[in-house]
Amino acid sequence: MKVMILSPALISGATSDVKLMEQKWPFKGIFGRFDESSLQRGFQVYREVCAACHGIRHISYRDLKGIGYTNDEIKVIAGDYEVVDGPNDEGEMFDREALPSDKFVGPYENDKIARLANNGAYPPDLSLIVKARANGADYLYSLLNGYKDYPENFEASEGMYYNEFYPGYQIAMPSPLMDDIVEYSDGTEATQEQVAKDVTSFLAWTAEPELEERKSLGVKTLFFLILLTIMLLGVKRKIWKDVE
Amino acid sequence: MSKDTEKKGITSWIDERLPVFTFINHNLRDYPTPKNLNYFWNFGSLAGVTLVIMIITGILLAMQYTADTDLAFDSVERIMRDVNNGWLLRYIHMNGASMFFIIVYIHIFRGLYYGSYKYPREILWMLGVVILLLMMATAFMGYVLPWGQMSFWGATVITNLFSAFPVVGDYIVTFLWGGFSVDNPTLTRFFVLHYLLPFAIVGVVALHLVALHQFGSNNPTGIDVKSDGDTIPFHPYYTVKDYFGLGVYLIIFAALVFFAPNFLGHPDNYIPANPLQTPAHIVPEWYFLPFYAILRAVPDKLMGVLLMFAAVAVLFLLPWLDKHRVRSAQFRPYYKQFYWLFFVDCMILGWVGAMPAEGIYVTISRAASIYYFAFFLVIMPILSRYEKIGELPSSISSAVLSDKFDKGTESYAK
């Protein structure tokens, strides 16, 4: 309990005072698992919307196996991207199609050009965004749905947007989502909430691709440890029976 | 070879020349231990186990980690994603640091309650404080290695504290940094020291054990062992009790690692270090918060720094601040109350250390800091002199066997 009270993660972090739109995420809890179809839809949203400005540089194309794509599908996905490789034997750098082992190619060559293209703001890499914010999944979902018109008397800055969940309420990213911004091939209705939910799930996966393995190993480990400890308690009691 | 040695076998042949088996027998098997130790006496061995876990996971992580400002953050993410079971190693190591401090803090509070620092265990206690200091240094430098925002800014804030010292301050800071800001030289030296210091801790732990085994463990009554009836052999009694305690500990540890691995961390540390962007709140890891609170409670920077160090250093003086002849708080009605107040005080300091240094929090942190030092420097010496106590049980055995024991202690309080 002491630990809970002292946990800095609980105390600071999300700095806006508006209550987050809390969602029931299937990957929360001891037995939490990702919803694979939601992850794939989220990946589609990432590719068609977010990827215009945000990278996921910690993810390799081959990692998509983790959300249910086959090797052949991954090769096709990777083939849509070009990476600079080299130098070759002539000493030249050259472009080639990305391989499954390459990391996701980001939208910008460097930070400077990213800022230049975005009115001075830097669109952060999204691989870890869910882990890098307090209550990351709920925060991200809320942020994506939190755009509003400027309240009266609010001093709006040039090129900024009002979002009630963003620290300071002004964010450089325009509202990225709306109803039917993507068309889902599995027939799911692409409402803004659904799209936000899917892309948040996808980014929860990019932040913690080990989550399912971790939790299932955790359950087994705890089961073993609890059994072992109960047995040790029995042994301890037996040995100590005659003392005192 | 004579028949005699043949009979004794290889163990005694070795033992005669290098008495390892005698040593093990003496220190881990027959070793007479008070029979009334409660579960708070498990925490020493738990700390030892944690140290071993930290060193093993740390060595494995170091095989994959790159200490370079451009690569450190990504190398940690590579461990998390691409190294086989890398996430497990890293989460064990990361949460292991927190578990280590929880264990050691309980171990210290145990010593404080039962007077384990008193004659003849003063050096044992002081070696423990040295271990705590080494742990703090190691943990601080370890937190810098992932090179996230909190790593960088925590390192900047803490190293900057030394600039408070007049004249030499800036030189010290430059010396620590290896340059004029926290940068690559800082990261590489922190990595080297983070790898080195745990082995220094192992050394001091060995001395800690030598000092412990000189007089044996203290016990909940604080009364010296008077006869063989007061003790039992370490094995199997305390080995099995330690194993059981270890089981409980590992359950908690595993729950944290597998189900809430980032609960005790700060989300900002998953943002790569950026020297141009200061986080809204720079907070140290939870185990430093009480000391951080003391630091910030003082308006003068130098005084704050000195008091923060003094908060640990005062522990060295404990055996001479509390000279009351009775060890255990069980028999000291007044000390017991001040002790629990002190415990709550430390919790408050930890809590307020995580709050912004403004408004009511400043007042709370000041009051709590004053009590922290008053407990050691005022209350302890006064109680040593004036606290009256009733009759102590004549021996550990009689204390354990007496049915009226609990009622008896109650009456002292009245």
Tokens standing for B30?
A: 């027959």
User: Shortest CA distance to A7 belongs to which of B256, B312, B39, B343?
Assistant: B256
Q: Write the burial class of residue B18 (CB in 10 Å: 0-12 exposed, 13-18 middle, 19+ buried).
A: exposed
Counting every residue, how long is chain B? 414
Chain B residues in contact with A65 (beta carbon < 8 A): none
How many beta-carbon pairs below 8 A join chains A and B?
126
Instruction: List the domain range (segments joined by +) for residue A238.
Output: 212-244
Please judge whether A218 and B354 are an interchain contact, meaning their C-beta atoms are less than 8 angstroms apart.
no
Cα gap B258→B265, rounded to integer Å: 14
Q: Decide if pLDDT at B393 tops 80.
A: yes
Cα gap A33→A26, rounded to integer Å: 6
Tokens standing for A83?
A: 């990476």
For chain B, the first-to-last Cα distance in angstroms comes to: 72
Q: Decide if pLDDT at A4 tops 60.
A: no
| Matching residue, tokens 């943002």 | B271
Q: Decide if pLDDT at B158 tops 50.
A: yes
Q: Dihedral sign, CA of A159, A165, A166, A168?
A: positive
Instruction: Tell me the shortest Cα–Cα distance from A163 to chain B, in angstroms.
Output: 18
Average pLDDT for chain A: 92
Q: What percent of chain B is predicted at pLDDT more than 90? A: 91
Counting every residue, how long is chain A? 244
Q: Mean pLDDT throughout B385-407?
A: 79
Please judge whether B258 and A236 are an interchain contact, meaning their C-beta atoms are less than 8 angstroms apart.
no
Q: Dihedral sign, CA of A222, B268, B52, B39?
A: negative
Residue A197 within a domain? no
Q: Mean pLDDT throughout A4-29?
A: 67
pLDDT at B7: 54
For chain A, the first-to-last Cα distance in angstroms comes to: 33
Chain A residues in contact with B270 (beta carbon < 8 A): 128, 131-132, 207
Residue A177 within a domain? no
User: Shortest CA distance to B299 belongs to which of B211, B232, B366?
Assistant: B366
In terms of CA atoms, which chain B residue is nearest residue A232?
B244
Q: Decide if pLDDT at B351 tops 50.
A: yes
What digits encode the pLDDT tens for the residues A112-124? 999 999 989 999 9
Read off the pLDDT band of B87 (50, 70, 90). very high
Please judge whether A3 and B257 are an interchain contact, meaning their C-beta atoms are less than 8 angstroms apart.
no
pLDDT at B8: 72
Chain A residues in contact with B232 (beta carbon < 8 A): 243
Q: Decide if pLDDT at B259 tops 70.
A: yes
Picking from A210, A220, A223 by the largest number of B CB atoms within 10 A of its own CB, the best residue to mutate is A210
DSSP state of B406: H
Residue B403 annotated among the catalytic residues of the structure: no
User: Shortest CA distance to B54 belongs to which of B103, B95, B102?
Assistant: B95
Residue A230 within a domain? yes
Residue A52 within a domain? no
Tokens standing for A234?
A: 């029995």
Read off the pLDDT band of B310 (50, 70, 90). very high
C-alpha to C-alpha distances, B231 to A29, B30, B218, B234, B235, nearest whole angstrom: 47, 10, 11, 9, 12
pLDDT at B161: 94
Residue A218 within a domain? yes
In terms of CA atoms, which chain A residue is nearest residue B257?
A218
Tokens standing for B310?
A: 């003094």
Q: Residues with Cβ < 8 Å from B216, sequence gap 6 or more?
A: B31, B32, B33, B34, B225, B231
Q: Mean pLDDT throughout A127-149?
A: 96
Residue B404 annotated among the catalytic residues of the structure: no
Instruction: Give the class (CATH, top level) of B29-413.
Output: mainly alpha
pLDDT at A107: 95
Please judge whether B354 and A11 are an interchain contact, meaning their C-beta atoms are less than 8 angstroms apart.
yes
Candidates B77, B122, B183, B213; catalytic one: B213
CB-nearest partner of A236 from B240, B264, B266: B240
Cα gap B347→B360, rounded to integer Å: 17
Question: Complex ipTM, two decimals?
Answer: 0.91
H helix and E strand count, chain B: 18, 2
pLDDT at B6: 54
Please judge whether A167 and B254 are an interchain contact, meaning their C-beta atoms are less than 8 angstroms apart.
no
Lowest mean pLDDT among A15-24, A71-80, B127-136, B355-364: A15-24
- Helices (DSSP H) in A27-92: which residue ranges? 36-48, 71-79
Please judge whether A243 and B232 are an interchain contact, meaning their C-beta atoms are less than 8 angstroms apart.
yes
Q: Write the burial class of residue B299 (CB in 10 Å: 0-12 exposed, 13-18 middle, 19+ buried).
A: exposed
pLDDT at A1: 31
Chain B residues in contact with A239 (beta carbon < 8 A): 236-237, 240
Q: Do β-strands A170-171 and B32-34 pair in parallel, antiparallel, or remain unpaired?
A: unpaired
Chain B residues in contact with A5 (beta carbon < 8 A): 347, 350-351
Instruction: Tell me the shortest Cα–Cα distance from B349 to chain A, in angstroms.
Output: 10
Q: Torsion-angle region of residue B359: left (phi > 0), alpha (psi -120 to 50) or beta?
A: left
Q: Which residue ranges make up each domain of chain B? A: 29-413
Picking from B42, B78, B234, B241 by the largest number of A CB atoms within 10 A of its own CB, the best residue to mutate is B241
Q: What is the pTM (predicted TM-score) of this model?
A: 0.93
Instruction: Tell me the shortest Cα–Cα distance from A56 to chain B, in angstroms.
Output: 12
Q: Mean pLDDT throughout B314-339?
A: 96
Q: What are the backbone angles phi and psi of residue A94, rounded to the nearest 5°?
A: -145, 155
Residue A154 within a domain? no
Q: Decide if pLDDT at A10 tops 90.
A: no
What digits encode the pLDDT tens for the residues B30-80? 999 999 999 999 999 999 999 999 999 999 999 999 999 999 999 999 999
Residue B116 annotated among the catalytic residues of the structure: no
Q: Mean pLDDT throughout A20-33?
A: 96
CB-nearest partner of A12 from B35, B77, B281: B281
The total of structural domains in chain A comes to 1
User: Shortest CA distance to B146 belongs to which of B235, B272, B237, B326?
Assistant: B272
Residue A195 within a domain? no
| Matching residue, tokens 């007496």 | B402
| Matching residue, tokens 């809204």 | B280
The number of beta carbons lying within 10 Å of the beta carbon of residue B64 is 15
Tokens standing for A81?
A: 């991207």
Residue A157 within a domain? no
Q: Residues with Cβ < 8 Å from B179, sequence gap 6 or more?
A: B185, B186
Tokens standing for B291?
A: 């000391």
Candidates B75, B93, B230, B242; catalytic one: B242
CB-nearest partner of B267 from A2, A133, A225: A133
Read off the pLDDT band of A2 (50, 70, 90). very low
- Residue B258 in contact with residue A218, Cβ under 8 Å? yes
Q: Mean pLDDT throughout A1-9?
A: 36
Classify B148 as helix, strand or coil. strand
